[in-house]
Amino acid sequence: MEQIPQSGLYYPNKIARLMMSALEDIMGKNGVNAILNLAFLPDLIESYPPDNLDREFDFSNLSSINAALEEMYGPRGGRGLALRGGRAGFAGGLRDFGALSGAGDIAFKILPLEAKLKIGLPAMAKIFTQVSDQRSTVKEHDDHFVYTMHKCPICWGRKAEKPICHMAVGLAQECVKWIASGQDLKVYEKTCFAAGDEACTIIVEKKPSS
């Protein structure tokens, strides 16, 4: 695996810490240490980013961790771990960020599903745009929403034949489940910088999976 150059774009320490803690819960401390060594990030072993919103965690670090998951466990195994890490990262603290915390209120829960999505998805995009260099936007279509990451920390500096931002998809899946009060909606990545596209886009279908 090749080292990914620094991007000069940053995530807040807190979100990076949540993601790494989520991976540790799934893989154990030794598993995460092996991933960090493979990702050229030995300084993070036993020293996760601090629990604050300072923008100090370079996009290349998160991209390297995701590349190392794939390198160590193969494309399929790495994808599964990244999805689980994204889901656990959201459940472990991201859902309490800003406007998203209101999705747990009774007044929000009784709204129709589409109304929840119209409020909740832009709230998620706004959080990432405000606290990180991951500028995100949401566009509504007849039967789905498109969540766009105009700069992506998951695949920064990588090349692939198909979309590889599995950790972002896992996070979006758990976020949508939270917004939709537990209903399962289809959430998947359609385009990806790593595959040569102009942006990374995640599709959120409006109707629950049957």
How far apart, in Å, are the Cα atoms of 106 and each of 33, 109, 110, 121, 181? 41, 5, 6, 18, 10
Contact yes or no for 1/68 (Cβ under 8 A): yes
What confidence score (pLDDT) does residue 105 get?
76
Residues 6+ away with beta carbon under 8 Å from 18: 89, 92, 93, 94
- % residues pLDDT > 90 (the chain): 66
102/110 Cα distance (integer angstroms) = 12
Instruction: Tell me what pLDDT residue 159 has.
Output: 95
- CA torsion angle for 177, 179, 180, 185 (degrees, to 10)? -50
**pLDDT number for residue 109:** 79
Higher pLDDT, 97 or 20: 20
How many C-alpha atoms does 133 have within 13 Å on its Cβ side?
A: 19
Distance CA 21, CA 32 (A): 9
Q: Is 158 in a helix, a strand, or coil?
A: coil
| Residue-wise pLDDT tens digits, 123-151 | 889 888 988 999 999 999 999 999 999 99
Q: CATH assignment of 105-208?
A: 3.30.1380.20
Please tell me the distance from the alpha carbon of residue 70 to that of residue 59, in angstroms, as a whole number. 17
Q: Which amino acid, 85?
A: G
8: left (phi over 0), alpha (psi -120 to 50) or beta: left
54-73 pLDDT per residue, tens: 999 999 999 999 999 999 99
What does the pLDDT read at residue 97? 66
What residue spans define the domains of the chain?
10-91, 105-208
- Tens digits of residue pLDDT in 83-116: 998 988 887 766 666 666 666 677 777 889 999 8
- Tell me the per-residue pLDDT of 172-206, one tens digit each, with 9 for 90 and over: 999 899 888 888 899 999 999 999 999 999 999 99
For position 106, what pLDDT does the model report? 76
Mean pLDDT on 159-175: 94
Sequence letter at residue 148: T
